[in-house]
């Protein structure tokens, strides 16, 4: 029997990583408690959000709040395992605007692996990109070919600002 055409062709996962100068616990804390500092303004759904936050539990929201109290959910926390791993849906749609359900959202898994003394490799794996339909190849390309000012590099800068110097070292 011939296969039926699939409107959501498989799109390969994208894996990105960066090493940050902090313990896994600190790297996890900065990622989850300070998203407003590392998320580029061009990537927000609400213009000049007053807050960007993650609710620290499975089923919690990753959301933005505007000055007028309006909220947009960026995703749902699907795994919360501090300080090692979290997973969140990514509700991005056409025109880089939000979609309002997780059925059409991909998943970002964030893992924190100790990497030497006071360093952590942070690995983001973008999965199920095919859920974005026709936009999937565009999203995959954008994530795979990001610029030096991308979200992951901004996150590393925020971690460096929040890092506590190890005994016997100095911070610039």
Q: Is the dihedral of CA 63, 108, 88, 157 positive or negative?
A: negative
Confidence at residue 148, expressed as pLDDT on a 0 to 100 scale = 58
Integer Cα distance of 61 and 120 in angstroms? 25
Residue range 47-59, pLDDT digits in tens: 999 999 999 999 9
Q: Is 0.85 surpassed by the pTM of this model?
A: yes
**Tens digits of residue pLDDT in 134-154:** 899 999 998 888 765 688 999
Burial class (CB in 10 A: 0-12, 13-18, 19+), 9: exposed
Domain ranges of the chain: 14-162
Domain 14-162 sits in CATH at 3.30.530.20
């Amino acid at each position: 029997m011939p296969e039926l055409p699939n409107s959501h062709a498989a799109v390969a996962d994208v894996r990105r990583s960066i090493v940050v100068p902090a313990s896994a616990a600190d790297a996890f804390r900065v990622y989850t408690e300070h998203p407003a500092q590392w998320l580029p303004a061009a990537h927000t759904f609400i213009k000049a959000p007053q807050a960007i936050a993650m609710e620290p539990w499975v089923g919690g929201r990753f959301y933005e709040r505007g000055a007028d109290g309006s909220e947009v959910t960026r995703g749902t926390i699907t795994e919360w395992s501090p300080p090692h791993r979290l997973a969140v849906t990514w509700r991005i749609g056409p025109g880089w605007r939000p979609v309002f359900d997780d059925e059409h959202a991909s998943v970002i898994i964030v893992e924190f692996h100790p990497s030497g003394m006071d360093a952590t490799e942070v690995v983001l794996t973008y999965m199920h990109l095919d859920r974005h339909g026709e936009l999937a190849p565009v999203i995959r390309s954008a994530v795979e070919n990001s610029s030096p000012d991308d979200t992951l590099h901004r996150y590393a800068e925020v971690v460096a600002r929040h890092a506590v110097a190890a005994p016997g070292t100095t911070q610039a």
